[in-house]
């Protein structure tokens, strides 16, 4: 099967003619009989594309090669997407030491085409957990100026496994500090990377992460909701964090909603009273002004 996978990889096609491997007809017949290969219109292919990727990745790693070897001096067409992620998956699952270095190569804009990098970022969001080096690498991409995948890297950070990793390292606190323009120092390279995001990006990071971790995000945002100077400017982030909350939402999420609406209401009343006293405008106009915030 390894030879078949190599033949397909070198041709860049998912099927092959029988005469391409005419020297092993018995093997081909046996694989067809067992359902591993499927024959149609004189051509053969694996019963599923993912199985081809698995077999190719296995022989690639057994031969002592790395993911970087596959894409080096290669056209890097769409055909390579499944192979690249399959190799990375087997490296990751088996804790192969070269995985970290290979992942960095594959996500390097100077070495790898954008569509492959995007496929790998999407693959990372499907993993059950996030390794620290994966979090660091994707965070670097999210703050890389001019990188065409910078935005996708940010959305990767918002995914479930990365959200839990951010929380594990106290980085949701750092993101909330950026939103409120608080420059309190939290040590560490990962914290420095999150501080490299602007307030809008950190807002997105928080309210999108609230889909998976509403209570943790809400707890971080409560101080912002209680601050009459910050709450009006951050009301979009605060309310989205509530409205996007998933099933785990509980007391902290409810408290966030109560706090932000209460703070905005109090601010409206205060401004309305001040403006009414000065004769500048009406209470209704003042309420409308604050509501627009």
* Residue-level pLDDT at 290: 41
Name residues of the chain where pLDDT drops below 50. 281-283, 286-287, 289-293
* Residue-level pLDDT at 89: 96
* Residue-level pLDDT at 1: 60
* Residue-level pLDDT at 280: 52
* Residue-level pLDDT at 35: 87
Which among 237, 244, 239 is positioned nearest to 211, based on CA atoms?
Answer: 244
What are the counts of helices (DSSP H) followed by strands (DSSP E) for the chain? 17, 3
Per DSSP, the residues of 155-201 read HHHTSHHHHHHHHHTTHHHHHHHHHTT------SHHHHHHHTS-HHH
* Residue-level pLDDT at 2: 77
* Rounded Cα gap, residues 262 and 250, in angstroms: 18
* Residue-level pLDDT at 288: 53
* Residue-level pLDDT at 185: 72
* Rounded Cα gap, residues 275 and 152, in angstroms: 45
* Rounded Cα gap, residues 170 and 176, in angstroms: 11
Q: Where are the beta strands (DSSP E) in the chain?
A: 16-17, 37-40, 43-46
Name the 3-class secondary structure at 237.
helix
């Amino acid at each position: 099967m390894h030879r078949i996978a190599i033949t397909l990889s070198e041709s860049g096609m998912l099927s092959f003619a029988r005469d391409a491997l005419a020297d092993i007809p018995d093997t081909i017949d046996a694989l067809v009989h067992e359902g591993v290969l499927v024959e149609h219109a004189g051509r053969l292919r694996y019963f599923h594309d993912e199985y081809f990727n698995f077999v190719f990745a296995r022989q690639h790693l057994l031969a002592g090669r790395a993911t970087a070897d596959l894409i080096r001096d290669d056209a890097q067409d769409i055909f390579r997407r499944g192979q690249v992620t399959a190799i990375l998956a087997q490296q990751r699952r088996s804790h192969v030491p070269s995985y970290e270095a290979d992942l960095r190569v594959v996500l390097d804009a100077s070495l790898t085409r954008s569509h492959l990098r995007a496929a790998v970022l999407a693959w990372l969001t499907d993993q059950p957990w996030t390794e620290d080096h994966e979090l660091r690498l994707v965070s670097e991409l999210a703050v890389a100026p001019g990188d065409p995948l910078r935005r996708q890297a940010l959305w990767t950070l918002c995914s479930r496994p990365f959200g839990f990793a951010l929380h594990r390292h106290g980085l949701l606190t750092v993101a909330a500090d950026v939103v409120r323009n608080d420059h309190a120092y939290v040590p560490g390279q990962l914290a420095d990377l999150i501080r490299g995001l602007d307030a809008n990006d950190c807002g997105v990071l928080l309210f999108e992460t609230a889909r998976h971790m509403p209570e943790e995000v809400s707890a971080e945002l409560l101080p912002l909701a209680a601050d009459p100077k910050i709450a009006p400017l951050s009301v979009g982030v605060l309310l989205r964090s509530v409205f996007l909350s998933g099933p785990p939402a509980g007391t902290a999420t409810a408290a966030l909603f109560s706090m932000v609406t209460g703070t905005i209401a109090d601010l409206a009343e205060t401004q309305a009273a001040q403006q009414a006293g000065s004769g500048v405008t009406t209470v209704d106009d003042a309420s409308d002004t604050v509501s627009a915030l």
